[in-house]
């Protein structure tokens, strides 16, 4: 058990270092020493706004990583759960707060600072509950059937929000979502919100890393290797898969709520099939088997897009999104061909190589993920 203790130690150190980096970036933006702000580091290419969005999606992708990399379950419907969090928060802090709820809870509900936080919690409970109910049957499916099942669930959620009439604002969505605050301390301007978002992302990463490295995590890895073997060893697969699925959707819901309070407008566009696909791309780019890959996977997608956006229009006059799309597609293909295990893995390899270029590494199989489900 000494080994496990060391692993936990490692996790704490890793999270700590990461937290310091995140804190420094935030401090830079907040204090702006000598007028020097975050985006200057990148030559004005990556904006602070991007950093916050990376934090939001990291929270979602960590869940997806656990589900796909550690429990071997593909989800193509994660954006649907992200949507539930966003819509619960948006609706309950605007329309519903103004209308019906006041009857149940007399007083200035919806204006009290704790109300939005309570609704984030409500979003988590609702999302987790829905995930639990549909997870039981859907998780019995395997491989591409599971992908299809989750895709279906995600799209059904999406369509219900889009067709929700005045309740969900249909295509216009719900606007004027309030900012979050504790007492009179408002999580705004933007740099304050940044700390909130990343605190959540780090907490989620820390929790997931500990789960992955616990007894449960070993069970999960067993599933990833071979479900049959895990079952024989007395691992309750059904239960583990379901728990991880519910947890990943709860992550998505928290991120969705934070998104709603950040964007202040929630409409259906980001939550469709393309949204779910983007999340899977991010998870794969970061490395499916690694929780640490999540922030990098999200960041690389945003950075590529931001770089292309910032640079292409000056390189090619009149270049619109088409060039962005083309180059993004090419990069995605190249990364997946040459780094099939994602950036975090490739970075680890490069780091090991830099430390000791002469050391001949054992030839590892290109991919540790299970082979095609048959």
Partner 1 sequence: MQNIVRTRSARIGATVAAMVLLVAVVLYLGHAKGFGAIQYVQLVLDGIRGGSIYALIALGFVVVFNVTGIINFAQGGFVMSGAMLAVAFNNLDLPLPPALQLALAVVFGVAGTTVIGALVERLTIFPARHSHTLTLIIITVGVYIFMQGMALLVWGANAYNLPAFSSLALEDQILRSGGIMLKAQSLWIWGTLAVVLVGLYFFFERTILGKALRACAINRRAAELMGINPSRMSLLSFAMAAALGAIGGVVLSPATRPIYDMGLKLGLKGFIAAIMGGMVSSPGAVVGGILLGVLENVAAGVTRAGFKDIFAFVVLILILLFRPQGIIGGGERGVEQ
Partner 2 sequence: MKKTAFTALTMIALLALLVGGCGTPVPTAAPTTPPPPEATTPPEATTPPEPVIGTTYKLGFFSSITGPTSSLGVPERNTAEMIAAQLEEAGGVTGPDGVIHPIEVIIYDDESNPEIAATVASRLIEEDEVDAIVGGSGSGPSLAVVPLMQEAEIPYVSMASSRSIIRNPETAETYKWCFKTPQENFHSGGWQAAYVEGMGWDQVCDIYSNDGYGQDCLAQTTAAMTEKGIEVSYSDSFEPADTEFPQIASVVASGCDALVIGAVPPGAALVTVAAREGAPDLPVVLGHGVCNATMISAAGEAAEGTVFPCGKMMYADGLPDDDPQKELLLKYREDYMAFTGEGPEGLSTFGGHAYDGLLWVVEAMGSLEEGLDVTARRAAIRDYIETNITDWPGTGGVFNVTPEDHLGLTYEALGFVKVENGTWVYFPPEEW
State the residues that interact with partner 2 by CB under 8 A: 35-36, 39-45, 47-50, 53, 162, 170-173, 175-176, 263-265, 267, 269-270, 303-304, 307-311, 313-315, 318, 320-322, 324-325, 327, 334-335, 338-339, 346-347, 349-350, 353-354, 361, 363
Return the residue of 153, 197, 294, 300 that touches partner 1, per CB under 8 A.
Answer: 153
Q: Is 37 left (phi over 0), alpha (psi -120 to 50) or beta?
A: beta
Of 251, 282, 247, nearest to 85 (Cα)? 251
In the numeric block, the tokens 């007399």 are attached to: 106
Question: What gap in Å lies between CA 197 and CA 69, rounded to an integer?
Answer: 24
Give yes or no for residue 225 binding partner 1 (CB under 8 A): no
Return the residue of 107, 183, 322, 363 that touches partner 1, per CB under 8 A.
Answer: 322
Of 56, 20, 244, nearest to 146 (Cα)? 244
Residue 47: which of partner 1, partner 2, none does it interact with, CB under 5 to 8 A by kind?
partner 2
Q: How far is the CB of 124 from partner 1 (least distance, A)?
A: 24
Residue 13: which of partner 1, partner 2, none does it interact with, CB under 5 to 8 A by kind?
none
Give yes or no for residue 284 binding partner 1 (CB under 8 A): yes
HSE (CB half, 13 Å, CA atoms) of 213? 18
Residue 363 in tokens: 């030839």
Q: How far is the CB of 114 from partner 1 (least distance, A)?
A: 36
Give yes or no for residue 363 binding partner 1 (CB under 8 A): no
Cβ proximity of 55 and 196 under 8 Å: no
Question: What gap in Å lies between CA 207 and CA 218, rounded to an integer?
Answer: 15
3 state SS of 115: helix
Cβ proximity of 173 and 266 under 8 Å: yes
Give yes or no for residue 332 binding partner 1 (CB under 8 A): yes
Subset of residues 120 to 139 that bind partner 1, contact rule: CB under 8 A: 137-138
**Closest CB to partner 2 among 132 and 188?**
188
**Closest CB to partner 2 among 98 and 232?**
98
Residue 140: which of partner 1, partner 2, none does it interact with, CB under 5 to 8 A by kind?
partner 1
**Closest CB to partner 1 among 111 and 367?**
367
The crossing angle, in degrees rounded to 10, of helices 293-315 and 321-338 is 140
Residue 331 in tokens: 């990069």
Residue 92 in tokens: 């309950």
**Closest CB to partner 2 among 137 and 365?**
365
Give yes or no for residue 277 binding partner 1 (CB under 8 A): yes
CA dihedral 206, 208, 210, 214 (to 10 degrees): 180
Other Cβ atoms closer than 10 A to 29: 18
Cβ proximity of 15 and 205 under 8 Å: yes
Residue 181: which of partner 1, partner 2, none does it interact with, CB under 5 to 8 A by kind?
none
Residue 315: which of partner 2, partner 1, none does it interact with, CB under 5 to 8 A by kind?
partner 2
Q: How far is the CB of 42 from partner 2 (least distance, A)?
A: 6
Return the residue of 191, 224, 306, 324 that touches partner 1, per CB under 8 A.
Answer: 324
Write the CA distances from 124 to 25, 121, 132, 267, 280, integer angstroms.
29, 5, 12, 19, 21
Residue 156: which of partner 1, partner 2, none does it interact with, CB under 5 to 8 A by kind?
partner 1
Residues that bind partner 1 (CB under 8 A): 68, 74, 137-138, 140-145, 147-149, 152-153, 155-156, 159-160, 162-163, 227, 273-274, 277, 280-281, 284, 288, 321-333, 336-337, 340, 366-367, 369-372
């Amino acid at each position: 058990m000494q080994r496990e203790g060391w692993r936990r130690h490692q996790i704490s150190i890793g999270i700590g270092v990461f937290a310091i980096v995140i804190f420094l970036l935030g401090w830079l933006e907040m204090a702006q020493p000598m007028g020097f702000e975050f985006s200057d580091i990148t030559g004005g290419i990556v904006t602070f706004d991007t950093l916050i969005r990376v934090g939001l999606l990291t929270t979602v992708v960590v869940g997806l990583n656990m589900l796909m990399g550690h429990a071997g379950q593909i989800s193509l419907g994660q954006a649907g759960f992200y949507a539930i969090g966003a819509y619960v928060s948006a609706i309950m802090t605007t329309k519903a707060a103004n209308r019906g709820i006041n009857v149940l809870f007399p007083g200035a509900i919806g204006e009290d600072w704790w109300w939005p936080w309570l609704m984030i919690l409500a979003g988590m409970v609702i999302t987790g509950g829905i995930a639990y109910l549909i997870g039981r049957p859907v998780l019995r499916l395997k491989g591409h059937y599971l992908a299809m099942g989750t895709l279906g669930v995600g799209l059904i959620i999406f369509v219900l929000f889009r067709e929700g009439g005045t309740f969900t604002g249909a295509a216009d969505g719900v606007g004027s979502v309030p900012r979050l605050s504790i007492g009179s301390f408002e999580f705004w301007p933007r740099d304050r919100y940044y700390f909130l978002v990343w605190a959540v992302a780090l907490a989620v990463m820390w929790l997931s890393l500990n789960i992955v490295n616990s007894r449960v995590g070993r069970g999960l890895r067993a599933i990833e290797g071979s479900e049959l073997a895990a079952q024989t060893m007395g691992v309750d697969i059904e239960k583990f898969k379901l728990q991880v699925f519910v947890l990943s959707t709860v992550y998505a819901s928290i991120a969705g709520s934070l998104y709603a309070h950040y964007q202040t407008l929630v409409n259906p566009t980001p939550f469709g099939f393309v949204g779910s696909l983007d999340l899977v791309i991010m998870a794969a780019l970061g490395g499916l088997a690694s929780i640490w890959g999540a922030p990098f996977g999200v960041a690389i997608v945003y950075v590529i897009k931001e770089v292309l956006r910032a640079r292409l229009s000056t390189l090619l006059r009149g270049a619109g999104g088409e060039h962005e799309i083309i180059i993004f597609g090419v990069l995605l293909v190249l990364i997946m061909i040459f780094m099939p295990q994602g950036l975090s893995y490739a970075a680890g390899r490069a780091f090991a190589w830099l430390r000791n270029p002469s050391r001949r590494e054992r030839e590892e199989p290109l991919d540790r993920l299970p082979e095609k489900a048959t």
